[in-house]
Amino acid sequence: MAENITQEAVQTPGAVFFIFGATGDLARRKLFPAIYSLYREGKLAEDFAVIGVARRPRSEEEFREDLYRSINEFCRYKIEDTDHWNRFAGHFSYKSLDINDIDGYCELRELTESVEARFSIPGNRLFYLALAPELFGSVSFNLQKGGMLSSEGWHRLVIEKPFGYDLQSAHKLNEELSQVFKEEEIYRIDHYLGKEMVQNIEVIRFANAFFEPLWNNKHIANIQITLSETVGVEERGGYYDHAGALRDMGQNHMLQMLTMIAMEPPSRLVAEDIRDEKVKVLRSLRSYASEEEVQAHVVRGQYAAGESNGKELPGYREEDKVDSGSNTETYFAAKVFVDNFRWAGVPFYIRTGKRLPVKTTEVVVEFKQMPTNVYLGQKHTLEPNLLVIRVNPMEGIYIKINAKKPGSESKIEPLAMEFCQSCLIGINSPEAYERLIHDAAQGDSTYFTRWDEVATAWAFVDRIASAWAQKPSDILTYPAGSWGPTAADDLLAQDGFHWWPVNGQEEDNVIWIRQG
């Protein structure tokens, strides 16, 4: 019952997928629905198996009931055919395991070998650790000690962020993993790299002759990257109060999106060459040399009580599992420079935060303005041209240009032409985890982060965190439901720019032409 199979729907090689943390929220919301979608679309053949691993006792029947509920609630495909469902669920097994018990891994190996024999799987094993990062090292060692890495097929390790808390802890974690797995076997997942429009950035840039020649400091005035959330910390208060926005979003999602925008064309369309270019961008980031530079270029804030859509919202310090005197940032904005020949002098403004008015992820490329003292610029106020790449929740692009207002003799107004990709694909747009699990099984590491990417990003972020640590109470507040501290507006205003409205906050004076 494979559906929507296209020429691109390449089946993964036969493998056993191990989900460590199988009773957790990530597995329930993302991983199981992703695997089901791959199966429905024919990207998983019948020679696969999934073994859920967690400490909690579960019978196989209970585990499959959990799986059923997970897919019906969170998957873009619903279960409609009982026979098809039973065939899919028959590929799933469960093992209750204390991750520190070597005997348990030996039992897991025996279960794995029986499953591999049943489905004719040639020893390929993918280990997905949906666990706390401090457990990655011990699980890896025990997989080796328990004989789980002795099969003749390939072995791959997929791990979730955060990869460490800072550069030092990331180094320690990487050293532990490297004693068991080779670098090419480690897949550090950043789900933002699996999003359709993030991957589309490369195509927009390098497949269009009217973008790439302009993609430099001669034609671009600034680039803005916004990743905003309307929710607070919810049930993640304990984790978030330890991490904060800079480590939770800045070190990974924000810098990864920046590399996609700023990278040079790779010499070959292979994973390592693409990741080489991303590392070059990270190495070109201008480091903040002092606390004063951090203060001048980076804004941090924490949401206080406020309201949104008539609903009262608590402040961050009032959230569950958050220290009442916490100075953890829930918002940060920064002005960043990429010091190379392409981008010298172009500011990149990045911002992310919780309890903001709109949930969105988008990139705004603002081109330099036309001369104001010649021809049309003498009589009209010409706004800069924009290219906007919308990543989430709606996917698409729009371009803003200046045009004559219809019906007028000479009035010029901004005109926005929009392409809505989500409107065409609708709910059947592949979810990021589907793409990334499929890529990992195929051995395609293009949209996973390599160790030198992680280390270079941490080195940049650690300078900011170190400066903040010197004055922990020097943090701005902003009302929940607002766009963050006004100091973030000043970052751009001092350069003659402003934050452009994001998805859901469109400009009133713009004529919109929509497709989709």
pLDDT of residue 512: 65
In this structure, how many other beta carbons lie within 10 angstroms of the beta carbon of residue 120?
A: 9
pLDDT of residue 308: 87
User: Among 104, 139, 160, which residue terminates a domain?
Assistant: 160
Is the preceding peptide bond at 162 cis, omega within 30 degrees of 0?
yes
Query: 326-363, pLDDT tens digit by residue?
Result: 999 999 999 999 999 999 999 999 999 999 999 999 99
Same-domain pairing of 337 and 459: yes
| Cα end-to-end span (Å), the chain | 29
Checking if the pLDDT of 5 tops 80, the result is no
Query: 226-256, pLDDT tens digit by residue?
Result: 999 999 988 788 889 999 999 999 999 999 9
Same-domain pairing of 143 and 279: no
pLDDT of residue 187: 96
For residue 374, name the pLDDT band (cuts at 50, 70, 90).
low
Average pLDDT on 33-55 reads 95
pLDDT of residue 428: 46
Domain-embedded: residue 178: no
CATH number, domain of 240, equals 3.30.360.10
Helix (H) or strand (E) holding 461: helix 451-470
Domain-embedded: residue 488: yes
Domain-embedded: residue 2: no
Q: How many helices (H) and strands (E) does the chain have?
A: 17, 19
User: Among 160, 185, 205, which residue terminates a domain?
Assistant: 160
Same-domain pairing of 139 and 206: no
Compute the mean pLDDT over every residue in the chain, rounded to the nearest whole number.
90
Checking if the pLDDT of 480 tops 50, the result is yes
Q: What is the DSSP string of 88-125?
A: HHTTEEEEE--TT-HHHHHHHHHHHHHHHHHHT--S-E
Determine which of 201-205, 292-296, 402-406, 466-470 has the lowest per-residue pLDDT on average. 402-406
Domain-embedded: residue 168: no
User: Among 112, 143, 160, which residue terminates a domain?
Assistant: 160
Same-domain pairing of 230 and 372: yes
Same-domain pairing of 358 and 507: yes
CATH number, domain of 132, equals 3.40.50.720
Same-domain pairing of 156 and 209: no
Query: 159-177, pLDDT tens digit by residue?
Result: 988 898 999 999 999 999 9
Same-domain pairing of 252 and 377: yes
Query: 383-434, pLDDT tens digit by residue?
Result: 899 999 998 888 888 899 888 777 666 777 888 888 877 666 554 456 889 9
Comparison of pLDDT for 369 and 466, the residue scoring more: 466
In the sheet where 15-20 sits, what is the strand order?
Answer: 92-96, 48-54, 15-20, 125-129, 155-159, 186-189, 448-449
Query: 207-222, pLDDT tens digit by residue?
Result: 888 888 999 999 999 9
pLDDT of residue 422: 64
Same-domain pairing of 70 and 154: yes
Determine which of 104-108, 440-444, 489-493, 502-506 has the lowest per-residue pLDDT on average. 502-506
The C-alpha atoms of residue 72 and residue 458 are separated, in whole angstroms, by 38
Q: 136-145 and 102-119 helices cross at what angle (nearest 10)?
A: 70
Query: 58-96, pLDDT tens digit by residue?
Result: 999 999 999 999 999 999 898 988 999 999 999 999 999
Domain that holds residue 45: 15-160
Q: What is the DSSP string of 22-89?
A: TTSHHIIIIIHHHHHHHHHTTSS-SSEEEEEEESS---HHHHHHHHHHHHHHH-SS----HHHHHHHH
Domain-embedded: residue 121: yes
Comparison of pLDDT for 95 and 376, the residue scoring more: 95
Q: What is the DSSP string of 398-454?
A: EEEEEEEPTT-SS-EEEEEEEEEHHHHHGGGSPPHHHHHHHHHHHT--TTEE-HHHH
Helix (H) or strand (E) holding 296: helix 291-297
Catalytic center residues: 253
Domain-embedded: residue 272: yes
The C-alpha atoms of residue 469 and residue 291 are separated, in whole angstroms, by 10
Domain-embedded: residue 330: yes
Same-domain pairing of 117 and 211: no
Domain-embedded: residue 315: yes
pLDDT of residue 503: 72
Same-domain pairing of 201 and 83: no
Comparison of pLDDT for 116 and 502, the residue scoring more: 116
397-407: buried (b, 16+ CB within 10 Å) or exposed (e) per residue?
Answer: bbbbebeeeee
The C-alpha atoms of residue 54 and residue 96 are separated, in whole angstroms, by 5
pLDDT of residue 4: 43
Domain count along the chain:
2
Same-domain pairing of 433 and 485: yes
Checking if the pLDDT of 378 tops 60, the result is no
For residue 477, name the pLDDT band (cuts at 50, 70, 90).
very high
Same-domain pairing of 399 and 482: yes
